[in-house]
Amino acid sequence: MHQLFSCYRRCQHRYYVSLTGELYVNPRIENLLQISADTSEDIRQQVPDMDAGFDDSDRTWEIIVKTAGSLDRIRSIYTNAEFTQLLCGYWIVRTTIDSIEALATEPEIIFIEKPKALYFELYAAKSEACVNVAKAEETQYGGVTGKGVLVAVIDSGIDIENGEFLDDSGKTRIKTLWDQTTGITYSDKEINSILEDYRNGAVKTLPARDVTGHGNEVAVIACGRSGVASDADIIIVKLGNSGGNAYIRTTQIMKGVDYCIRKAIEYSQPVAVNISYGGTYGNHEGSSIFEMFIDDCCSTYRCSICIGVGNEGEGRTHYSGQLVSGNVLDEELAIGDYEPQISIQIWKRAMDNARIELIAPTGERLVISERNAGVVHHNIKNMRIVSKAYGPGPFYMGEEIYAAIVATSGYITSGIWDIRFTAANVLDGFFNMWLPPVSTLSSATGFLRPSPEYTFTIPGTSRRAICVGANGRAPGSAATFSGRGVNVKSGLLLYAKPDITAPGVNIRIPGNKEKTVTGTSFATPMVTGAAAMLMEWGIVKGNDQYMYGEKLKAYLINGATRVGNVWPDSARGWGELCVAASIPAK
């Protein structure tokens, strides 16, 4: 036991009482994990970000752990836990809540967080992005098609018999496929054998089938024979399901990225990785373990990771405000009919002191900002409201206030809810609030004064990844749905997201003349394919062995098409993708 603290149990968590009498929670455990574990199962199951990672069959939690040094000692102690090692000192662990609390006290453990829910970035071309010019052999660019480079698509699956993923002889272009739903991996030889049996009628079903179409469409754009990197080798990861839910978990993405980079190292090939998923939970500053893992992987090998900015741009899921000492600020939240639950995240500076109240349409008032109060449960009519204030933590100097409103029967009260900030001593005053993704809410739900900035989704917030927005119909514009990011400049310090935009509106899928797709899900593989083309020019053809990571991003930005004089901006990043202009001339 820590010498300065006594310990006792409250709900399910181990809390500490300091010598001054304040309630103390282990700061190595993320706020949302603490809330989720201290919330009754019937309530937790209705909130995707709270329920993600819990396995009802064996009552265990899946967690993400950042470590320092070896875990051999810990693994010898926690023999009932399941440990999966990832690159760069990250682990995914499956264990009980009591073991999580004990793990958090071990010196090798830096921080623990739970998985979050991620969603497709689907909202409802090549010539526009200068792809065809870069492919033409007779041009000064010499013709680049991604040959010798791996394109990895981490998504909902693949139709392996689709001609887009076969070579001229009918053999697969997929070098390896991992189906997370079954845990089975397939080599290219095994895929070719399965295809032969399928054509002969010996087998009726194919592995890793994409029942949604999303993964197949993303892969066609990135690396199909009619797509961008049309001669690239392919890695496919079919993401596992989440117990029938409409989302996947951040841990599944992490395992997928780890698999793709390890395979690229095994094959000694550069790799461009595509992630067309995103979520809204987090402070959007790149400080979660998930975001840091993506950043560290970007620096691990000859890779570039491309991630969509998301489709929250014209939703009403974000609000930015400014607190002033002694003032009261009200932000109204409209909740439409038939919402079974909604969660609200508030992220502010820890040095800014303010009382935050949630006021229901029927007048009930709840304080949700009490520090050191643990997880607080309120009951109003047919609703349970669970809240907790937390922070600062090891990787974030701010404070999070999280509140989930869940109907215990029927639906939560519709109408105008008020979030009231009564500021005391304020040093900075800036804060953000986020709701769940717009795709999960009714059209009537959202902030009445939404802020379009900071609507980019996680993990597109990762600093070293290439964050991709969608072009609008007008030249030099961004699609209205495309998430807005951030543009921070101070001397040589520059943090701008998105990095670049690409075609993402009414993209016609090759081989299916009747279908078009829209969303940053489909702008992202344009850039992933472009990254593979630059890698071929640089690494495979021997022009630049360091054409990956931040250098590759810089070349894409340098070649982008720009209309106007102010760059970067929060909607268009550094401009529109132009592959040909990004490849240095001979």
Instruction: Give the mean pLDDT of the chain.
Output: 89
- Residue 517: count other Cβ atoms within 10 Å of its Cβ: 22
Distance CA 203, CA 482 (A): 42
What is the distance between the alpha carbons of residues 520 and 485, in angstroms, rounded to a whole number?
Answer: 13
Give 318-447's CATH code, choosing from 3.30.70.60, 2.60.120.1290, 3.40.50.1980, 3.40.50.1370: 2.60.120.1290
What is the SS3 assignment for 259-270? HHHHHHHHHCCC
pLDDT of 510 reads 67
Q: What's the rounded Cα separation, in Å, for the pair 517 and 123?
A: 8
Residue carrying the six token digits 């132009």: 578
Rounded mean pLDDT, 27-44? 91
Catalytic residue among 155, 179, 210, 499: 155
d(CA 176, CA 174): 6
Of 129-138, 231-240, 256-265, 335-344, the poorest mean pLDDT is in 129-138
The helix (run of H) or strand (run of E) holding residue 447 is strand 446-447
pLDDT band at 491; cut points 50, 70, 90 = low
Domain ranges of the chain: 30-38+54-113, 120-313+457-582, 318-447
Q: Is the pLDDT of residue 256 over 50?
A: yes
Query: Which element (helix H / strand E) includes 554?
Result: helix 549-559
The third-level CATH classification (topology) of the domain covering 30-38+54-113 is: Alpha-Beta Plaits (3.30.70)
Question: What pLDDT score does 138 carry?
Answer: 45
Stretch 142-168: mean pLDDT = 95
Are 50 and 35 in contact by the 8 Å Cβ rule? The answer is: yes
Candidates 73, 60, 44; CA nearest to 100 is 60
Catalytic residue among 214, 369, 387, 570: 214
Q: How confident is the model at residue 173 (pLDDT cuts 50, 70, 90)?
A: very high
User: One fold for both 30-38+54-113 and 318-447?
Assistant: no
Least confident of 19-23, 92-96, 175-179, 294-298: 19-23
pLDDT of residue 492: 65
What does residue 44 show for φ and ψ, rounded to 5 degrees? -60, -40
| Chain center to CA of 401 | 21
Q: For the segment 221-252, what is each residue's pLDDT rounded down to a tens digit?
A: 999 999 999 999 999 999 986 445 568 999 99
Active site residue 521: yes
Q: Tell whether the model's pLDDT for residue 17 goes beyond 60.
A: no
Q: Which CATH superfamily is domain 120-313+457-582 in?
A: Peptidase S8/S53 domain (3.40.50.200)
Q: HSE of 38 in the Cβ direction (CA atoms, 13 Å)?
A: 26
Report the DSSP beta bridge partners of residue 378: 385
Catalytic residue among 287, 521, 570, 582: 521
318: annotated active-site residue: no
Give the pLDDT band of residue 2 (cuts 50, 70, 90): very low
Q: Does residue 214 carry a catalytic annotation?
A: yes
Residue 38 near residue 12 (C-beta atoms within 8 A): yes
pLDDT digits (tens, 9 = 90+) for 126-151: 445 556 656 555 455 558 999 999 99
175's CB contacts (< 8 A; 6+ apart) are 150, 187, 188, 233, 234, 235, 263, 267
Q: Tell me the percentage of the chain whose pLDDT exceeds 70.
A: 89
Cα–Cα dist 577/233, whole Å: 22
Yes or no: say if 366 and 378 are a contact pair by the CB < 8 Å rule.
Answer: yes
- Rounded Cα distance, 143 and 533, in Å: 9
- Whole-number Cα distances in Å, 451 to 117, 140, 321, 570: 23, 44, 9, 12
Q: Are 371 and 31 in contact (CB under 8 A)?
A: no
Mind listing the pLDDT tens digit for each residue in 376-424?
A: 999 999 999 999 998 887 878 889 999 999 999 999 999 999 999 999 9
pLDDT-derived band at 10 (thresholds 50, 70, 90) equals very low
Q: 10-19, 27-36, 158-167, 199-208: lowest mean pLDDT where?
A: 10-19
pLDDT at residue 74 greater than cutoff 90: yes
User: Which helix H or strand E contains 120, and what residues bound it?
Assistant: strand 117-120
Structure tokens at 186: 């397939």
CB atoms within 10 A of CB 364: 15
pLDDT reported for residue 16: 44
Average pLDDT of span 512-516: 67
